[in-house]
Amino acid sequence: MSKILARPPMNSQLHPISGRSGLPLVGHALAYIRDPLALMQENWDRYGEVSWFSMVGRQWIAVLGPDACQEVLQNKDRAFVNSDGWSVLIGPFFHGGLMLLDSEEHLRHRRIMQQAFTRTRIEKSVDVLNPAIDSALDTWTPTDGFRAYTALKTLTLDLATDIFMGGAEGSTESEISSVKKAFVDCVQAATSLVRYRVPGTRWKRGLDGRRVLEDFFRRYLPARRARATDDLFSVLCHIESEAGQRFSDDEVIDHMIFLLMAAHDTSTITLSTMMQYLGQHPKWQDRCRAESLALGTSTPSYADLDGLSSLDLVMKECLRLVSPVPVMARRAVRDTQVRGHFVPAGTYVSVAPHFTHHMAQYWPDPERFDPERFAENRREDKVHRYAWEPFGGGVHKCLGMHFAGAEIKAIMHHLLMRFDWNVDADYVAPLDFTSLPFPSDGQPVDLRRRHSSVR
């Protein structure tokens, strides 16, 4: 039965927000994990752009469609904050990350952080990525049913360690394994139903994981402070804003934990999605491979990667089909409105780009893989400023989006040069939305080594 979230003030022209509470205690959590698009579509069909739902004891409003998403993400009246929104989900595990900061604190951190993602630094990162990717792919054993997502997750986390840490000198294999497990535990803890330090729960594992990560980075921090190198850990220790502001030790650790999570988890699902669709659409795989072969090198520069136009189209389409971050969390710090609906102070807000990316109003035949949507003669992503928003919008738009694109295209270039692969045309990835989306079957592909490649 539909209910009203809160009545607008007397004499207000604003509309109340309607919605449903869902199941006792868990609300709509299980429905979201099972199929978030179906849940969002049901809310859209019943209530339109703005509605409310219950999720694990809290009431959230669902902001659906590009107009409503734009209002919240642009946040012109500064009524919405990131910190309180994300903190209820991932705060205990990723506090201090740029995505969880607001106002002047966010601006200070962003001004410093942007010095770590200049074009020059990304170019240097690509130079380091190439041999690391090459070495990692030497360990892949082509076979039918190769679990691509599982292998890619290991690859991207290893790359994050190399690029961001400059390697972890002195660390044992067991310690590195515990760090990887800690990252997974922190991410998965975000949607815990039990949110207390109870042994055996995701929440407890996430809290323990955060402590493991803090101890790990704190041990390496003095050496990075002492000597400037090109790895991100060292860069964060030495960069400063134009005003001369620098990060404290605790801030460096907070940012490293958040960035390592962001750098490998979101890239992994995008790479996995790309392997799926290229395996199901061999003409596109051949087209992308032809462009990679035309480069004549297995060590492409950042400029070379910019020239892989077909791969860029595929990447954008896969970011549309499976948004690495399906929803973005905010909280209203004072009474405000969204699309003419009254939003009371304290309300949690779920901005859903994943739903926008599947709206037939903006994307004809939205479930069809069609990278040409992004070609210059079509540019369906330009029909609305917020039709395509995998990296968010407003002042919190992802600062690492260009690095992420370079990493993804570099890895795909190496994969195309080394391997052919096939995925059954009828395969549908069983996506698990317990935290960030991932294929619960490990993303099987039939992988074959190519007989000739540029090495």
CB-based contacts of 305, cutoff 8 Å, min separation 6: 126, 406, 409, 410, 413
DSSP 8-state secondary structure symbol assigned to residue 386: T
Q: Is 20 exposed, middle or buried (0-12, 13-18, 19+ CB in 10 A)?
A: middle
- Residues making up the chain, counted from first to last: 455
Quick one: angle between helices 249-280 and 82-94, nearest 10? 90
Q: List the beta strands (DSSP E) in 21-153.
A: 50-55, 58-63, 80-81, 146-147
Asked if residue 398 belongs to a known ligand binding site, the reply is yes
- Cα separation, 123 vs 407, whole angstroms: 11
- Residue 263: closest CA among 86, 397, 402, 136: 402
User: Mind giving me the DSSP string for 426-448?
Assistant: T----EE-SSS-EETT--EEEEE
Alpha carbon distances (Å) from 174 to 177, 180, 181, 186: 5, 10, 11, 18
What are the distances in angstroms from CA 279 to CA 46, 143, 255, 411?
37, 14, 36, 16
With beta carbons less than 8 A apart as the criterion, state whether 345 and 402 touch.
no
Bridging pattern class, strands 146-147 and 431-432: unpaired
Binding site residue list for heme: 398
